Structure 1
Amino acid sequence: MAELRFAHAINRALAECMEEDPTVFLFGEDIAEAGGPFGVTRGLHERFGQDRIRDTPISEAAMANAAVGAALTGLKPVLEIMFMDFMTLTMDALVNQAAKARFMFGGQTSVPMVVRTPHGGGISAGPQHSQCLEAWFAHIPGLKVICPSNPADAYGLLKSAIYDSDPVVFVENKALYAMKGEVPDDAGPIPIGKARLVRQGTDVTVVSYGATVQRVERAAKTLANEGIEIEVLDLRSIQPWDEAAVLESLKRTHRLLIVHEAVEAFGVGAEIAARMANIGFDELDAPIVRIGAPFVPVPFAPILEEQYQPQADDVVAAVRELCA
C-alpha cells in the first residue's frame, strides 16, 4: 500500500498504461518537460521520450481532432486539455466525430481515446478557468464521463478509461491534486459505471462525485453527532451512472439529496432526481433535494468563490430539513 497524492496516482496510471501498451501516447499543452500546468505528467517525458509525450500548440480544436484521427487508426491517445473551460473548443471533434463513429460505421470501428481535463474552483482562477461542464458531455450518446474523488479511484478509473474502446472524458477536480490517499501496490482498473459506498446510513442518501464528496463526508460527521446517519454514495462515473446503487440506497433511507459543484440548473443532479422520482417514487418519504452552484459565473475573489461552491454546512442544513 502506497500513499500517493491525487496527481501522482494519475501519473502512475499513465506510466503503467504506457509501459503495458505501446499504442498509448500523451499530448497536450506543456505536458512534456513542464509536466502540465499542475505537474501531473511530470517525469514521463524523460521516461518515455518525445515520440510518446508531445507538447502541442495552443489549439484545442486541432488537438482533439488529431486525437480522434489517431484513435481511428489504432493508437490510444490520452489528450490533456489544460482547463475544462477550453473543452468548448473540442466540441465538434468529441460530439460530432468521436461519439458518433462506432454508430455511424456500424460497429466496425471505435475511438479509444481519453481526454483528461481539470474542472472546479478552489484556486481563484476566475470564471473562464473554473467551470464544471461534465453534464454537457454526459448528455452525448457515445461518450463516457468519469470524475473521481480520491487517489485510488483516480488511478483505477483512469486505467479503465485508457483500456476502454470508446471515447472517455476524464474529469479531475483541480482542488484534489494535492490530496493524499492510499493506493494498493497491486491495484487494478475500477469498472466504469459502478458507484462507491463511502458511508452507510439510515436516514438520508446523499449522492455526490468529485471534490464535493469530501465535503459531504465532513457533513456526515457533524450530523452523526446529532443522531442523523446519512448514507454517502460517490458516483465516480457520471455517464454511465450507477442507477441501481442509488435506488438500493434510497430503499434503505427513503430520502435523497444530490450534491455537486457544477451549477445546479440542468445538471447531473437533475437527471438523478428525475430518474429516482420515476423508478423510486414509492420509496420516497420526502421531496428530492439538490445542492449545486448558483446560476452565475464562478467569481474570482476567494471569499466569493467559497460562498459560490457548495460547502459542508449547506449539506448539513439540507439534511436537517429533509429529516424534519
Structure 2
Amino acid sequence: MKDAEMNELSDSEQEEVQSLEAELARAKSLSVKSLADAIESIGFECTRCGACCTAHHSGENNDEKTENAHEDETEPAHTQINNRSKTEAPAATAPTENGRVSHNNGSDDQTRTVSNQDNKANTDVAMESVSTSTSTEPHTATVFPDEVRELQATADNMRDGTADTDAHSPTEWRDVARPMPYGLDDENSTGTTFEWALQTDACGDCVFYEEADGVGSCQAHDNRPLICATYPFSVALGGTSQPMGEAVDTAGMVRAHECEGLGRDITREAAEELAATLRTRAIRELEEAISLRDAYEPPGNTDGIVVHDSEGAKRPDGTAIDN
C-alpha cells in the first residue's frame, strides 16, 4: 500500500494494515528447525483414514470418517463489507479453514479421474444435496488461484492417460474449485464471498479423494495445495488459517488439529520436510491476505455470486469481473 493511501486511513485502519505486514515478517523469520522440533515432539503419521478430505456427517455417530470431528466446529466469522473501506475488508476475511483437507499419500491406482462431464453433474447435485442437509457439512479447504490452475493442469494430465481423453475439453476452473460457501445464500446462488474451496462431489467429499478397502488416497497428491500438504498442522500467526476448529495440541509456534494420526512417531527427515512446507504455507497465506486486501473493491450491481481473491473479483467460473 502506498504512503499516500496510508495517510488517508484512521489509526485503527493503519494498525490493521500494518498487522498483516508484521505477521508476514514473523512468518519469514520462522525457523524450520524449530518448527520441525515442535512437529517431532507432537508426533504424526498419516493413517489414510480419509476423515480430513471427506464430508462431515454429524448425525452418524458410527461413521469412521467423522468420529474424531469437532462437535463444536463452527464456520469462520463472515463480515459483510459492502459498506466497509478497502482496507477493512481483509482484516474481517483473513483466510480461515473449516472442514477437512487432504494429506494422504499418493496412489498408483488412478482409475477415477476428474473430468468436466462428471464433475459438472456432480457439482450440481452436491450443491443441492449438501446445502439442504442439516447433518452433512461438505469438505471445505481453501485453495488459492495459482493452486487452482495447477490442479486444473494436474487433472488434465491425469485424463490424458485414460481411454476417454477428450482433447477439446480441458478441465475448467469450477471442476476443481468452488466459491467459499460463507456469505452465500442457502441455495449457493447469490452473495459475496472470499477465496475458493476445493470442489466437492455429490457426497460432499473432495473431488480428488479416492478410497479402496477403507484406505484413502489423493489423486493430486504430488500437486496438492499447501493446506493439504501440511495438515493437521498450522502456525500461531494472525492472518493464517486454522483447519478444523481449535487446536488440540501445541508446541512452540505449531498448532495441531483434530487427526487420528497425531501422537505417532515421525522421522526427523519427514518432520523437517513438513516444517519447511508449513513455513512456506504461512508466508503464502499472509501474502495472499495482503494481496486480497489491496485488490478488494466493493462489489457494484453484480448479480449472482462474487468471489474476491488476491487477483480481484471473479465469477464462480474463475473469470474476472470488471468493476
TM over 0.5: no
TM-score (norm 2): 0.28
Q: Report the TM-score, using the length of structure 1 for normalisation.
A: 0.28
Tell me which protein shows more helix as a share of its residues.
1
Structure in which a larger fraction of residues adopt strand: 1
